[in-house]
Structure 1
């Protein structure tokens, strides 16, 4: 006779771990992380050792400080052993306060991590950036979300500095235990979907931290374990996505011969596996479906063979509901340290966003007692008797049958019975009948269970309806911005301090969960400024505030420091220290009478100013030896005048004056010079050189390569030596800018002016001219970007350096030797150009390069290819480019 029937219901499966919930302090502040588990590469004194790197604590001299002053090239680290695999989502840092006597902190840091203590992996955010912006003073804590999160046991925090500094750090980590036990998965690398009428969709595992060999990924973890579930429509973009489909790893059937993908999963120890959950896309209208079946084999121990007996699972395909869903695959409580699964295609594409496992960490013990007891599911003895069953309702449930002993029953009859029900799916396992059992008793059990199934199915339908109602609110994961939730003070009029993280049981939550804990106080930190200064932009300081049109790949939305000056022309990026020093200097250019400027043509305009082509009467006498030469028969000099409008803001006025000070520092024969200014009265003006032959793009597009035909027919032409001479001059001018650490950011033939002797001067007018508007990609509400000339790191990361100017120089060379007859990447749309920059970032050999121009010698095209190398450090300097081009040019 049976005592009871226990029914365990499982609602719709969710991710194994949720980054929005997994945000508990791991124990630096409260001491759960022991001193022995905190080490460092060095320490200044015993009182600034690693054991004192605890957030909000003031023991010793207040923090961990590495020995000596930190050099930019130094690698000093603070290392933590978390004693178990941990899902790390947040890092909080402070400087050394030391009861008001300390004044050291780290402005930046980076992370490396290891799951085994031997192989260390650098952490990068979803845009490939390793640097995390940290503290701006000694006492306030700065909390940074890790996107993507880290699965690790060991962690190193490495302070980063741009100058020689003393740094000290206190930290706290947030996350939770990694119960999944998965330490690595391997499989074929993801493919890229290129369908007519849709944007290019890379479906590779972009955050994978293992290695790639022969188009397979090995030995790491990535997007399939980051806790982020892909959208129903994979072509849509979340706010944090660098590109559409980012959350999915996908494979194309016809690119894999066998008709399946094989993945192997490695675990931290021997485990008893209950089931595997695979979140899969099902946009069948795009040729994407859930896998048709899966077959898994198991390796019981680290050094053993794969067991021949497999577990197979078949799905019922769904051509009505395109929603992404979890597919739960029962694993029959098999014991293993590794699992190898083959997922079979049901259509052209198969896409996964998460894979997780339910398991117990030890093999199940064998029950000695003849009496069956109500042990937990994970600790019962041998595998239960399992029957094939399915419902159309889609909710997995188990029926656990527990009973008394009986003198005529063997122990095998008194095992737990488990029924699996899955959404339109069948579970195929072999029933294991009891030996020498009483058939009538077994039939009675089954009849009882079947009678109760009607009630259970009704409960399932009701439960599923409730779940659907509760899940109507969309889940969102925001970007870098976080908030700290703390217990409310008993005095409701006072808010807790921002830098307090009191209880080890408190969590740091994302901003998308304001209603989960209404009893807690929410504190939002001020977002960093993303203004338009001249220093090299740092993407880690910016938050995304605006969206592009839905058709634009999302990583084009990267916040890039404004390229345009107040007059609409390009502005040079200069080092922050230089820009600060310029603001303290007076304008050295001479004041020119504005009534002597005669308007000829408007070249362009910006939000607060215009660029005019003018004749300057008396400028030669005014400047003396520094004056540009007069045109034949002219008494005036052709100049470009940047003029600020009367309605310009105070910030625009300050930027305009700063631009004058920057231009006044430039003095090179191949750079446009600032001649004079008109700043004693409004409107403010700066007067620069202009060349009578206009810009290089227009000049070359109206000419042909020199030949006997051009001479015979008096056709305007240029020779190969002319083109090489132009390239040498541009390299010379850029070499000069690089020597000052100035970054041009818009180098192209449209920004190179020529005189009648083919002397080139690099200018900055191209961006403001409507003639070249098609060369720029406009982001709504922000500056236009010359993406066809920009390096991949400038497009994706907003990073402008001399190395990115070298990339643009390579494109400018390509323009010159095509005689500017076509636009770079003319066969690609703007969106495809941005997608191609993503291929440079991923570096999987799929990037598209500009093809060799017909007039270009092979050695020169090889020089262009060197300019387009992925890593900045591998690109040539402007000095080496100048020397190489000069070697081939007889004029230089």
Structure 2
């Protein structure tokens, strides 16, 4: 085992790739539409026949480089593949399923596909459909009203002939569709019309903490933990991912230009911004910001604040966000704990799992 001080990607670079375990024949992969693209890479949806010894066809996501990628970008994707093989399987991580590394075609890393897109867009789509508890959902079903005999002419009876599904369809998904690349038409299970509850929000928070507890136990530092990097799968399961090369950080306002690089400043701990120190403790800080995103239903952190030197120094001096709209005092306290100025004082992911498990 290599010393802890060496970053995981440098450790993994030297590891062998076990083709006998992971190699998948390209001809069994049928590539489909794009799910994300950046300066160097892209992620596409695909159908894989017989992956993981399955007798069926499975929808997967494939990470690959764009035309004209350099040797160093190739190496970065290869290293990512090795990191994924090293990390191993967990329910709350977007897991590796296979790879195509053999000569005669592009390098492809095959991972789980998450049908419902990223958590940030999904939560925004739910803003009209948030109920504080499961029972509240029952009282919100629109009633079909009969034509009352003394109804004034010209006044339409409220919601007459409007099905509950139509009234729920204004979940804001229409304008978001291209963004999250989700076809609502395909969606037979009415997932976008289901109300979301406090329990769901706490469950997402708990699952991300569990995924991060696992990643940190495997010596993995994420560095870009945010709702845009959490994907939603079936059965309300959320999974941590990282678009890495396949995110357009040049177009995305979440990545702020600092010198010759672009950084997700709103999600970064002060020691990462000022001293380029990344650790599991800086991931815990980012997790606190992710909690804020969850409990504001996909709000943009530090609303109305300019991302500039002044922001950075105010953060260092102790400026913190106020509680988001849907958080409870307990949840907000967890955020503040994650934003402790001293990294050593921030909770461990194992403690966060326990706290959120209790709330759940």
Question: Which of 221, 224, 228 is residue 750 of structure 1 equivalent to?
Answer: 228
Aligned equivalent of 1:346: none
Question: Which of 556, 561, 576 is residue 7 of structure 2 equivalent to?
Answer: 576
- 1:716-735 CA deviation, whole Å, 9 max, x = no partner? 32111111111110000000
Provide the rounded CA distance (Å) in 2 between the counterparts of 1:781 and 1:864: 31
Aligned equivalent of 2:200: 722
Partner of 2:235: helix, strand, or coil? coil
Partner of 1:668: helix, strand, or coil? coil
2:53 matches 1:624: yes
Partner of 1:882: helix, strand, or coil? helix
Closer, same or farther: CA 856–576 of 1 in aligned 2, 3 Å: closer
Question: Which of 29, 41, 49 is residue 597 of structure 1 equivalent to?
Answer: 29
Question: Which of 261, 270, 274 is residue 796 of structure 1 equivalent to?
Answer: 274
How far did residue 622 of structure 1 move?
3.3
Question: Which of 31, 46, 58 is residue 614 of structure 1 equivalent to?
Answer: 46
Provide the rounded CA distance (Å) in 2 between the counterparts of 1:779 and 1:653: 25
Aligned equivalent of 1:672: 94
Aligned equivalent of 1:837: 312
The question of whether the paired residues in 1 share the 8 Å contact of 2:118 and 2:228 is answered with yes
How far did residue 680 of structure 1 move?
0.5
The structure carrying a bigger strand percent of its residues is 1
2:122 matches 1:699: yes
Partner of 2:265: helix, strand, or coil? coil
2:113 matches 1:690: yes
How far did residue 750 of structure 1 move?
1.1
Provide the rounded CA distance (Å) in 1 between the counterparts of 2:303 and 2:351: 29
Question: Which of 733, 738, 756 is residue 211 of structure 2 equivalent to?
Answer: 733
How far did residue 659 of structure 1 move?
1.3
The question of whether the paired residues in 1 share the 8 Å contact of 2:42 and 2:66 is answered with yes
Closer, same or farther: CA 581–823 of 1 in aligned 2, 3 Å: closer
Question: Which of 806, 824, 828 is residue 301 of structure 2 equivalent to?
Answer: 824
The structure carrying a bigger helix percent of its residues is 2
How far did residue 757 of structure 1 move?
0.7
The question of whether the paired residues in 2 share the 8 Å contact of 1:737 and 1:743 is answered with yes
- 1:506-543 CA deviation, whole Å, 9 max, x = no partner? xxxxxxxxxxxxxxxxxxxxxxxxxxxxx98xxxxxxx
Closer, same or farther: CA 652–770 of 1 in aligned 2, 3 Å: closer
Aligned equivalent of 1:62: none
2:254 matches 1:775: yes
Structure 1 residue runs of 5 or longer lacking an equivalent are 1-161, 164-534, 537-574, 628-634
Aligned equivalent of 2:333: 862
Aligned equivalent of 2:346: 875
How far did residue 767 of structure 1 move?
7.2
The question of whether the paired residues in 2 share the 8 Å contact of 1:796 and 1:838 is answered with no
Partner of 1:812: helix, strand, or coil? helix
The question of whether the paired residues in 2 share the 8 Å contact of 1:743 and 1:802 is answered with yes
CA-based RMSD: 2.5
Closer, same or farther: CA 747–710 of 1 in aligned 2, 3 Å: farther
Paired residues, number: 300
Aligned equivalent of 2:179: none
How far did residue 641 of structure 1 move?
1.0
How far did residue 886 of structure 1 move?
0.3
How far did residue 776 of structure 1 move?
1.3
Q: What are the equivalent positions in structure 2 for 1:84-483 lying under 5 Å apart?
A: none
Partner of 1:741: helix, strand, or coil? coil
Provide the rounded CA distance (Å) in 2 between the counterparts of 1:816 and 1:711: 25
How far did residue 580 of structure 1 move?
3.0
- Larger Rg over CA atoms: 1
Provide the rounded CA distance (Å) in 1 between the counterparts of 2:108 and 2:270: 35
- 1:226-273 CA deviation, whole Å, 9 max, x = no partner? xxxxxxxxxxxxxxxxxxxxxxxxxxxxxxxxxxxxxxxxxxxxxxxx
How far did residue 610 of structure 1 move?
2.1
Provide the rounded CA distance (Å) in 2 between the counterparts of 1:581 and 1:689: 21
The question of whether the paired residues in 2 share the 8 Å contact of 1:750 and 1:766 is answered with no
Give the alignment's TM-score, normalised by structure 1. Answer: 0.32
The question of whether the paired residues in 1 share the 8 Å contact of 2:30 and 2:46 is answered with yes
Structure 2 residue runs of 5 or longer lacking an equivalent are 143-163, 169-192
How far did residue 770 of structure 1 move?
4.8
